[in-house]
Structure 1
Amino acid sequence: MNKVLFSTVAALGLVAASHAFAQSGDDNMTKLQGMQSTGTSMDIKTIEQTGANADQLRKNLEEIKLPDGFKIDLYAVVPDARHMAVGPQGVALFVGTRKQNVWVVTDRNKDRVADEVKELAPSISFTIPNGVCFSKDGFLFIAEQNRVLTLPAAEFFYESPDVAVGVVVEEGKLVPASEESFNHTARVCRIGPDNKLYIALGQPYNVPPEDKMDLYEKEGIGGIIRMDRDGKNREVFATGIRNSVGMQFNPANGELWFTDNQVDGMGDDIPPGELNRATAAGQNFGFPWFGGGDVRTEEYKNSEPPADAVMPQVKFTAHAADLGMDFYTGTSFPQKYRGGIFSAQHGSWNRTEPVGARVMFTPLNEDGTAGEPEVFASGWLTDSGEYMGRPVDVEVMKDGSLLVSDDLAGAVYRISYDE
């Protein structure tokens, strides 16, 4: 039975309430794994898609700057919208959050605007279900703070409060309980060309102490792990990563690319954010010896970095918080964008003058390396330094348009091209 872990609380009444809640969650998971109904209400929470809030979000988009021929529209109102996964059948979009909900977005009449946004599987209690990703054969994987679930046929079962569900990694087993933190807990996942599940595990610290290094290297904390889709044969794929919250495989050659958020407190202009390219398993990307790019950290300045540390393909503006990314696999955008990388910059907190809150585009060269990045969509950060939105993730739709999630505004936008 999958056991839900709860922090110790002082009040006896709260302990009893937590125990009852945990037992209910365990019972539901057991029933769902046995293909039994949980009795959860069919009155599933939905999010209003019209009215003053949606109107204001559309008005805010009038300030977004895009290259000629592109336009941006509100696709859906989605509270706390983070990482996204387009269903392989094109039926629905699944959106994770850093709270307790996963949302399902459905455009039933295919007018490229969502008709319905509702809670996924209210019979399941999620904890920071940020990472959502699909396999090509229709299995939705949800990487939580410290658990991984898989939902077969999610595009079919999402209409019900109950879903078919499997436990890939049990609660408390993705990272050791001793390393379960409030910081850097937004996991992301992808299914690789080898049909394995890849998950990025951010480490809890700004810069980790040396006595944590052996444990982190063994567990893949501050790295990327991979495993069979049933959770077996777990191994560490990459190390030397501070907190990656965006990755995708290059469909042209199967190489894994990922963003990385770099060390805070080193100044406004250093260290840079990163876009990295993993060409093989076992590579080390330099953290914590390097705080970003080739900038050495104060904590590890007297320690020799790995001789084979891989430097980033792209150095982004410092503290812009580079998060979700996707390769452009569509055909509706002009040729220059095809096969390149779109990535979201969430925006800075650790900077005198804020930066970011935009979507970047990085072309790839013929040899598979990164070209020069450029700003693709901007305007969520005003001239006065106010954030009107904070992009988190990007996802290519089947029609070739690009979705952008925004956890500050609670929205998903759609960028399209019209000659």
Structure 2
Amino acid sequence: MRIPLLMAVLACAVLVAPALAAAQDGLLTGKQAFGGWRQDKPGVRRLIRPQDLPKPDPAQSSVNAADAAARPKEAVPLLPPGFSAKLIASGIAGPRVVRVAPNGDLFVSDSRRDRVLVYRLGEDGGKAQRSVFADGLNQPYGIAFYPADKPQWVYVANSDSVVRFPYRDGEMKASGEPEMIIPDIPSNHHWTRDILFSPDGRTLYLSVGSGSNVAEGMADRPQGGLDKWLASAAPGAAWGSEQGRAEVRAYDPDGRNGRVFATGLRNCSGMTVQPATGELWCVVNERDGLGDNVPFEYATTVKEGAFYGWPWYYLGDHEDPRHVGERPDLAGKLTMPDVLMQAHSAPLNIAFYTGGNFPADYKGDAFVALHGSWNRGKRTGYKVVRLRFKDGKPTGEYEDFMTGFVVSDARVWGRPVGVAVAKDGSLIVSEDSNGTLWQVTYKQGAQ
């Protein structure tokens, strides 16, 4: 009996060893990567692959929204060795997207107060100067400067429109009234509209999230029938109450010649351009109601004409059980995203690191702000993660960078939203639970 027992022990050791090695090396894979906030800390790495996707289980789906807690006295986010976080602003009602003007000013969308703020960082650690650039907006979110090098305009994406303000370098208050660029954007449910210009400045990208979780209320077939719809619509485009939604759209800088760029992106809340390639990237909040770990959130290049699945499929040919058999014509036609993240993490913004303050191996990687889960039994998200790249290509790994915002299983004091690289190479992070802005810097030799 000893030989079979020994063989069984050896077999178990063979199975367990890779898992232990992964855990010791800081890399979590497969089911190990599906933990909650208690496992989060700077340096923990996750690699989630398409084959790790569990089967959907709507009965397992949770409602677990976090209660907002006051920031504990002297609390600061946790960071890797050598990094430190400085509080540069507080008391903001709802800080969301942060964008950096060419002169270094920080433009921040204060969505709950319907305004855009400007912060000018003080020299030698002095207090930041603040101004209201524009108010009277409608849930402003995305901000873009045009032209990029010497901007004459600041574009702002409201929930229902895109407007622009005249701008001259260093202005901290808009000198003129807003000019309407794109009107009549559908605005219910997902309201966060991000905007971005292509590297050559010829194209304005606009993300428009879905009007529901998974096209509830959208008729089974478009008016006039599916064949008629397919003859004129972009591949994977939705109709009815979801027409023009779950898309990235493209326009000329003056708002003309609007067209569909990509479809099936349930809620592309944050966009950026990868400097090394010029490719458009976005981070996507996937659907709810299919279980704690289904489907994965993701960051991805956005390819023109591509379809990413919503509402009929997710992560390839995984058919949503609420839309079985409705679009067999789309099977096999989905574009797979590049980097998969834990389900329900709620990624809201992405920025590639281009500065010179952080260690050299950070250059070319990307930071993503995870706003945090509500549709998951074990809370996850509520942190900033680092997407790892090699030779300009994503490795699929992502690493906890900025954590410590969760107080307990029920309460959190910080929900990261915006990430941006400041002119001095520091990383700026906004969070909208306590309404704060943080500046992350690195000091060689600091521990």
Q: Decide whether the 8 Å contact of 1:74 with 1:113 is kept in 2.
A: no
User: Please, which of 237, 252, 256 is the counterpart of residue 228 of structure 1?
Assistant: 252
TM-score, with structure 2 as normaliser: 0.73
Which residue identity is paired with 1:197? L
Q: Decide whether the 8 Å contact of 2:308 with 2:315 is kept in 1.
A: no
Report the counterpart of residue 300 of structure 1 in structure 2.
323
User: Please, which of 155, 159, 172 is the counterpart of residue 158 of structure 1?
Assistant: 172
Report the counterpart of residue 99 of structure 2 in structure 1.
85
Matches within 5 A, 1:168-317: 168-170=181-183, 172=184, 174-175=185-186, 180-181=187-188, 183-195=189-201, 196-208=203-215, 209=218, 210-211=220-221, 214-215=238-239, 220-278=244-302, 280-291=303-314, 295-302=318-325, 303-304=327-328, 305-317=330-342
User: Please, which of 63, 69, 83 is the counterpart of residue 82 of structure 2?
Assistant: 69
Identity between Structure 1 and Structure 2 (%): 31
Cα deviation for residue 97 of structure 1 reads 3.2
Structure 1 unaligned regions, length at least 5: 1-54
Q: Decide whether the 8 Å contact of 1:274 with 1:293 is kept in 2.
A: no
* Per-residue Cα deviation, 1:308-362 (whole angstroms, up to 9, x for no partner): 3111111111101011000101111112210111000000111112111000101
Does residue 381 of structure 2 align to residue 337 of structure 1? no
* Per-residue Cα deviation, 1:173-228 (whole angstroms, up to 9, x for no partner): x33xxxx41x1011111111131111100011100134465437996410101111
Determine the C-alpha separation between the residues in 1 that align with 2:438 and 2:425: 14
Determine the C-alpha separation between the residues in 2 that align with 1:258 and 1:152: 27
Determine the C-alpha separation between the residues in 2 that align with 1:56 and 1:369: 34
Report the counterpart of residue 162 of structure 2 in structure 1.
148
Determine the C-alpha separation between the residues in 2 that align with 1:288 and 1:113: 49
Q: Decide whether the 8 Å contact of 1:330 with 1:338 is kept in 2.
A: yes
User: Please, which of 117, 129, 151 is the counterpart of residue 116 of structure 1?
Assistant: 129
* 1:96 aligned counterpart, secondary structure: strand
* 1:142 aligned counterpart, secondary structure: strand
* 2:245 aligned counterpart, secondary structure: coil
Q: Decide whether the 8 Å contact of 1:394 with 1:404 is kept in 2.
A: yes
Structure 2 unaligned regions, length at least 5: 1-69, 223-236
User: Please, which of 110, 113, 120 is the counterpart of residue 107 of structure 1?
Assistant: 120
User: Please, which of 138, 150, 159 is the counterpart of residue 127 of structure 1?
Assistant: 138
* Per-residue Cα deviation, 1:277-323 (whole angstroms, up to 9, x for no partner): 12x41111121122457643112232323423111111111101011
Determine the C-alpha separation between the residues in 1 that align with 2:282 and 2:73: 31
TM-score, with structure 1 as normaliser: 0.78
Q: Decide whether the 8 Å contact of 1:329 with 1:339 is kept in 2.
A: yes
Identify if the C-alpha distance between structure 1 residues 288 and 226 changes in structure 2 by more than 3 Å, giving closer, same or farther.
same
* 2:75 aligned counterpart, secondary structure: helix
Report the counterpart of residue 432 of structure 2 in structure 1.
407
Structure with higher RCO (Cα < 8 A, 6+ apart): 2
* Per-residue Cα deviation, 1:139-180 (whole angstroms, up to 9, x for no partner): 2110101111112216544346x535322113x2x33xxxx4
Q: Decide whether the 8 Å contact of 1:101 with 1:120 is kept in 2.
A: no
Report the counterpart of residue 398 of structure 1 in structure 2.
423
Identify if the C-alpha distance between structure 1 residues 367 and 343 changes in structure 2 by more than 3 Å, giving closer, same or farther.
closer
Determine the C-alpha separation between the residues in 2 that align with 1:329 and 1:163: 32
Cα deviation for residue 269 of structure 1 reads 1.5
Measured on the aligned residues, the alpha-carbon RMSD in Å equals 2.3
Q: Decide whether the 8 Å contact of 1:402 with 1:414 is kept in 2.
A: yes
Q: Decide whether the 8 Å contact of 2:246 with 2:264 is kept in 1.
A: yes
Determine the C-alpha separation between the residues in 2 that align with 1:101 and 1:146: 12
Q: Decide whether the 8 Å contact of 1:82 with 1:130 is kept in 2.
A: yes
Which of the pair has more CA radius of gyration? 2
Report the counterpart of residue 167 of structure 1 in structure 2.
180
Determine the C-alpha separation between the residues in 1 that align with 2:380 and 2:316: 18
User: Please, which of 336, 345, 358 is the counterpart of residue 320 of structure 1?
Assistant: 345
Determine the C-alpha separation between the residues in 1 that align with 2:297 and 2:344: 6
Determine the C-alpha separation between the residues in 2 that align with 1:57 and 1:105: 26
Determine the C-alpha separation between the residues in 2 that align with 1:370 and 1:97: 34
Which residue identity is paired with 1:299? R
When the two structures are aligned, how many residues end up with a matched partner? Answer: 351
Q: Decide whether the 8 Å contact of 1:273 with 1:292 is kept in 2.
A: no
Report the counterpart of residue 400 of structure 2 in structure 1.
375
Report the counterpart of residue 14 of structure 2 in structure 1.
none
Report the counterpart of residue 66 of structure 2 in structure 1.
none
* Per-residue Cα deviation, 1:46-65 (whole angstroms, up to 9, x for no partner): xxxxxxxxx9677121xx22
Determine the C-alpha separation between the residues in 2 that align with 1:93 and 1:337: 22
Identify if the C-alpha distance between structure 1 residues 214 and 184 changes in structure 2 by more than 3 Å, giving closer, same or farther.
closer
Q: Decide whether the 8 Å contact of 2:262 with 2:307 is kept in 1.
A: yes
* 2:74 aligned counterpart, secondary structure: helix
Cα deviation for residue 96 of structure 1 reads 1.0
Determine the C-alpha separation between the residues in 1 that align with 2:129 and 2:240: 41
* Per-residue Cα deviation, 1:23-65 (whole angstroms, up to 9, x for no partner): xxxxxxxxxxxxxxxxxxxxxxxxxxxxxxxx9677121xx22
Which residue identity is paired with 1:188? D
